[in-house]
Amino acid sequence: MTADYKVHGDVAVITLNNPPVNGLGYATRVALAAGLDKASADTSVKSIVITGAGKAFSGGADIKEFGSPKAVAEPNLLSVILAIENSSKPVVAAMHSVAMGGGLELALGCHYRIAAPGTQVALPEVKLGLIPGAGGTQRLPRVLGVETALNMIVSGEPVKSELLAQQPGQKLFDKMAASPESLAEEALAYARSVADARPLPLVRSLPSKHPLGEAYFQFARNMVKGMAKNIPAPAKCVDAVEASTTRKKFDDGMAFEREIFTNLMFTPESRALRHIFMAERATSKIPDIPEDTPQREIKSMAVIGAGTMGGGIAMNFLNAGIPVKILEMKQEALDRGIATIRKNYESQVKKGKLKADKYEQRMSLLSTTLDYNDMKDADLVIEAVFEEMGVKQKVFEKLDEVMKPGAILASNTSTLDVNRIASFTKRPQDVVGLHFFSPANVMKLLEVVRGAGTGKDVMATVMAVAKKIRKTAVVSGVCDGFIGNRMIEQYSRQAGFLLDEGATPQQVDKAIEKFGFAMGPFRMGDLAGNDIGWAIRKRRAQERPDLMHSRTADKLCELGRFGQKTGAGWYDYQAGKRDAIPSDLVNKMVEDHRKEQGIAPRKIADDEIVQRLVFSLVNEAAHILEEGIASRAGDIDMVYLTGYGFPTYRGGPMHYADQLGLFNVVQAMKRFQRNPRDDAGFWEPAPLLARLAAEGKTFTP
Ligand code: NAI
């Protein structure tokens, strides 16, 4: 049973009991409906209370059921709510902790509502690309007024019950309980006090209107346009709430809401957002590491190297209230690093994003040193020195010598072998890769690189630490480039081939930016520094001389055009500005290169550009998945969504490929094999991709 039924004298109490958040899945709805029937049949029962066990009243629909027959199987949520409205005995919702989505809609169907202070009230469906689908858009405006309701529905953000209770004229709560502890008793007393009230009040009978009428909704539509970013749901929220004011009959508004909800459910945008919702929660689970694995305590940490990454990494921990000690080789480097951290915080204070006292508080947690002995007691140390194995070796040998037993030794290396780094110590179980992305204080992504010998407790600890510093942590096995950069290398190679075949950098960037990427490959190269890729290609040329690359990127670097930092790259830049201006010189260089290669340029359609760039990511990702470097396709999607600017509303490269159909992806790859620049089997489908495509399956089961 997922709901308990108990009679207290003349009041029946139905307690939703489906941990963790009393989701309204099929079994819970059946139990709830059965409880209502029982209470209705029992002549000694005069009124009914619905409440939730544990940590929530109800968190709403069970999203695992979405799109499946179970989601709509009777009794569906609409039918349960209707049964409550039609009950001849008063039904009181007793809300606490969490009343969201379908949970709030259920409460809105009750005759009365009593809430504990601190209850998080929300209709968060918009975050899944949907609108509320069980009357939320029709009933919430009737109890909170159109504006408050619409703000809640469009943002999906929770509002505390006590704030809503203060709103003049609100009808959401008939009573506020004194405390969460007293809610149960107060709900019983309240249910008794209304036992004889007739007729029973219904939210559906209340009016919904806005004094400005249509003009207000036009204004609201303009407001959401800016924030909607290719996702249709926010504008649909406005339509649905407007219907609560314009439809003569309540049930017409309900039908309109239902129609929108059902349509949105099948949009690619909602599918993508629902996929992300699940993928995000899955990333923290490591298949062979149980959730109750003991963790080490992280009370203080140290950073080696106060450069670009070291400073940003330190800020993450300061923000989370964890003391940080930074070590450098020279005082000047320390001073420079600390000045940068200060500058970053000061700009946040100036923008009003950080309070001055908070800034001081954070800085007071930061200390510096030139001596390893000063940091030997840190629970975690993250190395962010130059990307050279020799330098890393010296640092890790020193750490092995000085750090207290049990300290976690992490490297922020972006390309080096974490197993090799671990071998410089006598404690490989304590060594792990923590690959932050630049700027490290801003970017959400953290690749946690699990070495062959990394301890399970170390993995469990760093995953928990990542949560504390609010990163999206994705576990990667050891390989060149880990998940993200290994994929981007193929994407960059493909971008180069597109130039060779006839495209310009601006055409490639525009096409993929129109697809939704934050930045195309050439603008990204200019931002990150084209010299980084140059160094990698030089290394590759030795390891894999057979691997073909467009030479255009090398030629660009030979001209000293490293990107924004040198004032010129694939594009020209004006001093102090970041606008990418197409460069005649670069376009001529690309043309000359084509001539040298004897390639006759052709016009390449934007669709082809997008497919070749995205599928180059997908194919490499399929190798990564099959090799076990990533444990789930969803993990790879999270890497690309949080670290590489892949468009959210497309759900990540793997989800996007799944939605296209892997068969179609493979077909396209076969077409690309006919391109003159297909070399060394670039477009040979990865075995996993070929297999799934042949079986009609998807990366995410
Ligand atoms: P950086 O050159 O800005 O900073 C490195 C700092 O380490 C310098 O301040 C230097 O004085 C200090 N340092 C060098 N050897 C040292 C030693 N033996 N002891 C103490 N301090 C020492 O470099 P950046 O960009 O911060 O990179 C650091 C690490 O982070 C590298 O492994 C890099 O691959 C990795 N990384 C860099 C990213 C980026 O976008 N810059 C992104 C992700 C990882």
pLDDT digit string, tens, across residues 446-459: 999 999 999 999 99
- Strand 11-16, strand 91-95: pairing: unpaired
Nearest Cα to Cα of residue 245 among 126, 146, 147, 132: 146
pLDDT exceeds 80 at position 67 = no
Residue 678: pLDDT band (50, 70, 90) is: low
Average pLDDT (257-281) is: 96
Nearest Cα to Cα of residue 154 among 233, 211, 246, 264: 233
Give the amino acid at 468. K
pLDDT exceeds 70 at position 676 = no
Span 506-522, pLDDT tens digits:
999 999 999 999 999 99
DSSP strands (E only) in 196-254: none
Residue 368: strand, helix, or coil: strand
Q: Is residue 391 within 6 Å of ligand 1 at its C-beta?
A: yes
Of all atoms in ligand 1, which is nearest to the CA of residue 413?
Answer: 32
pLDDT at residue 62 in the model: 87
pLDDT exceeds 90 at position 536 = no
Q: Name the strand (E) or helix (H) holding 159.
A: strand 159-160
Task: Compute the distance between CA of residue 500 and CA of residue 591 in angstroms, rounded to an integer.
Answer: 8
Task: Compute the distance between CA of residue 616 and CA of residue 187 in angstroms, rounded to an integer.
Answer: 59
For ligand 1, pick from 392, 393, 414 the residue to mutate: most ligand atoms within 8 Å of CB: 414
Q: Are 194 and 47 in contact (CB under 8 A)?
A: yes
Span 148-181, pLDDT tens digits:
999 999 999 999 999 999 999 999 999 999 999 9
Average pLDDT (11-27) is: 96
617 C-alpha to center of ligand 1: Å? Answer: 27
Residue 371's CB is within 10 A of a number of other CB atoms, namely: 9
Q: What does the block give as tokens for 668?
A: 């396209």
pLDDT at residue 544 in the model: 85
Mean pLDDT of the chain, nearest integer = 96
Q: Is residue 529 within 6 Å of ligand 1 at its C-beta?
A: no
Residue 261's CB is within 10 A of a number of other CB atoms, namely: 21
pLDDT at residue 481 in the model: 93
639: left (phi over 0), alpha (psi -120 to 50) or beta: alpha
SS (H, E, C) 592-636: HHHHHHCCCCCCCCHHHHHHHHHHHHHHHHHHHHHCCCCCCHHHH
For residue 433, what is the DSSP state? E
Q: Are 305 and 385 in contact (CB under 8 A)?
A: yes
What b/e readout covers 57-67, taking b as 16+ CB neighbours within 10 angstroms? bbbbbbbebbe
pLDDT at residue 68 in the model: 83
Phi/psi of residue 206, each to 5°? -75, 155
Q: Is residue 414 within 6 Å of ligand 1 at its C-beta?
A: yes
Residue 679: pLDDT band (50, 70, 90) is: low
Q: Is residue 306 within 6 Å of ligand 1 at its C-beta?
A: yes
What is the end-to-end Cα distance of the chain in Å, rounded? 29
- Looking up tokens 């629902």 gives 274
Task: Compute the distance between CA of residue 547 and CA of residue 527 in angstroms, rounded to an integer.
Answer: 26
Tell me whether the omega of the peptide bond preceding residue 199 falls within 30 degrees of 0, making it cis.
Answer: yes
pLDDT exceeds 70 at position 79 = yes
Average pLDDT (238-262) is: 97
What b/e readout covers 617-635, taking b as 16+ CB neighbours within 10 angstroms? bbbbbbbbbeeebbbbbbb
pLDDT at residue 63 in the model: 78
24 C-alpha to center of ligand 1: Å? Answer: 50
pLDDT exceeds 80 at position 358 = yes
Q: What does the block give as tokens for 666?
A: 């493979």
Percent of the chain with pLDDT over 90: 92
477 C-alpha to center of ligand 1: Å? Answer: 22
Active site (catalytic) residues: 105, 125
Helix spans in 247-300 (H): 250-265, 268-282
Q: Is residue 535 within 6 Å of ligand 1 at its C-beta?
A: no
Give the amino acid at 67. G
Q: Is residue 245 within 6 Å of ligand 1 at its C-beta?
A: no
Nearest Cα to Cα of residue 636 among 661, 662, 655, 609: 655
Give the amino acid at 127. K
Reported pTM: 0.93
Q: Are 165 and 141 in contact (CB under 8 A)?
A: no
Average pLDDT (97-112) is: 98
Of all atoms in ligand 1, which is nearest to the CA of residue 392?
Answer: 18
413 C-alpha to center of ligand 1: Å? Answer: 8
Span 582-601, pLDDT tens digits:
999 999 999 999 999 899 99
Span 471-502, pLDDT tens digits:
999 999 999 999 999 999 999 999 999 999 99
Task: Compute the distance between CA of residue 433 and CA of residue 466 in angstroms, rounded to an integer.
Answer: 12
Task: Compute the distance between CA of residue 209 and CA of residue 337 in angstroms, rounded to an integer.
Answer: 57
Long-range contacts of 175-182 (CB under 8 A, 24+ apart): 175/112, 175/113, 175/114, 175/115, 176/114, 176/115, 176/116, 176/117, 177/94, 177/96, 177/114, 177/115, 177/116, 177/117, 179/116, 179/117, 180/96, 180/97, 180/116, 180/117, 180/118
In the chain, the domains with their CATH numbers are 3-265 (3.90.226.10), 301-476 (3.40.50.720), 484-694 (1.10.1040.50)
Q: Are 416 and 395 in contact (CB under 8 A)?
A: no
Residue 154: strand, helix, or coil: helix
